[in-house]
Structures are given as structure tokens and as C-alpha cells.
């Protein structure tokens, strides 16, 4: 909770978030051109999770005094935990699955594995400092499930390695399962933090 370290985490996550949205630029453009604009919010999964965590750090640095802002902060913190764990693990799993089916290993894959593992780990490490409770966790789980539904109903899920293109139904099942497991991980972390 050292403020200097929180600021370091904030800037690292903010830069990673910006990079993540740039990473999604082709898919965002394709979605904008071919789907209703309302679906755009469901396209960039990992950078949005990183954005939630970045905003959560701001709420730690500058705790709001007004009750309404505290509630908003708690929902964002719940979203940060569920989505960071889910998409952190999901991205690593998809990269490794692509390799296991014969995909090439490139340097960017190793960078993405490290950064996405960090997303999951930092979210679970900071749960005890966040102020959210079960209601915010349920909202976060509901949002993440809605995102899954939109991704696999409209085909706007993150681009998969070429080697996984014939396994979309299996990826879909894994994705929904991972959302539930990420919600459970947040719930267990809250219990350990003795807020349930």
C-alpha cells in the first residue's frame, strides 16, 4: 500500500491498458463496421479488465468520501478482480493451447503470458485492500457472464490462434467455466479478507 508502489502499479497498468486497446484496434474497427456499435464495449476483454484494475488503484490512492462514489468504486473493484483473474488466465490458456496444437512461439506470446499472469496475480493480491462486498462481486460476475454471452452469440470473442479455429465450442465452454471459477476465486478471496 506504499503510495509510491501504488503509483508504479498504476502507471504500469495504465500503459498496459492503452497497449491492450491498440492490440484490439483491428477487431474494434471490424466490429464497428459490421455490428451494432453497442457491441463495441464487449470486444476488448483484457484491456477493459486492466482498466478496471487501474481505476481501482486510483480509488486506493484517493478514497472517495461520498457514499455514492464509494459504491461506484466498489463495483469497479469487484469487476477488476473477476475480470482480471478470468482474462489473465484465459489469455495464457489460449496462447499455450495454440502452441500445443502446433502454433509458432513468438516473443510477443511470452510478453502476453507474463503480463496476463500479472493481471490475475495482482488482482488477487489486492482484494484485501479493496472495499467491495458480495453485491459488487455478483454485479461483476453478471457483467462478465453477459460479456461471454455477447462474445459467443455474435462472434466477437477475442481472436484465437489459428490452430484453435476448429475448437470454438470448446473454447466457449472453457470461457464460461472460467468466468464462474473467477467469481468463486473472488468470493474465496473476500472470505479470506473476512468481508463475508
Position of cell 495464457? 92
Contact 40, 32 (CB under 8 A): yes
Q: What are phi and psi of 102, to 5 degrees?
A: 100, 5
Q: How many domains does the chain have?
A: 1
pLDDT tens figures, 149-159: 999 999 999 99
* Cα Rg of the chain (Å, integer): 17
Contact 45, 158 (CB under 8 A): yes
Range of the domain at 117: 3-192
What's the pTM value of the predicted model, to 2 decimals?
Answer: 0.94
pLDDT tens figures, 97-123: 999 999 998 999 999 999 999 999 999
Contact 174, 86 (CB under 8 A): no
Q: What whole-number distance in Å separates Cα of residue 8 and Cα of residue 85?
A: 20
Amino acid at each position: 500500500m506504499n503510495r509510491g508502489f501504488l503509483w508504479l502499479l498504476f502507471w504500469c497498468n495504465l500503459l498496459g491498458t492503452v497497449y491492450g486497446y491498440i492490440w484490439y484496434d483491428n477487431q474494434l474497427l471490424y466490429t464497428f463496421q459490421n455490428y451494432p456499435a453497442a457491441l463495441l464495449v464487449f470486444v476488448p476483454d483484457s484491456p477493459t479488465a486492466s482498466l478496471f484494475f487501474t481505476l481501482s488503484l486510483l480509488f486506493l490512492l484517493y478514497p472517495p468520501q461520498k457514499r455514492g462514489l464509494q459504491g461506484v468504486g466498489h463495483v469497479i473493484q469487484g469487476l477488476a478482480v473477476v475480470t482480471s483473474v478470468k482474462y489473465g488466465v484465459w489469455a495464457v490458456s489460449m496462447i499455450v493451447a495454440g502452441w500445443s496444437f502446433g502454433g509458432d512461439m513468438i516473443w510477443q506470446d511470452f510478453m502476453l503470458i507474463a503480463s496476463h499472469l500479472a493481471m490475475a496475480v495482482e488482482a488477487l493480491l489486492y482484494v484485501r485492500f479493496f472495499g467491495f462486498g458480495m453485491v459488487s462481486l455478483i454485479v461483476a460476475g453478471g457483467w462478465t457472464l453477459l460479456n461471454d454471452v455477447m462474445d459467443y452469440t455474435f462472434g466477437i470473442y477475442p481472436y484465437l490462434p489459428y490452430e484453435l479455429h476448429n475448437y470454438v465450442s470448446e473454447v466457449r465452454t472453457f470461457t464460461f467455466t472460467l468466468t464462474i471459477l473467477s467469481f468463486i476465486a473472488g468470493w474465496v478471496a473476500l472470505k479470506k479478507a473476512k468481508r463475508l
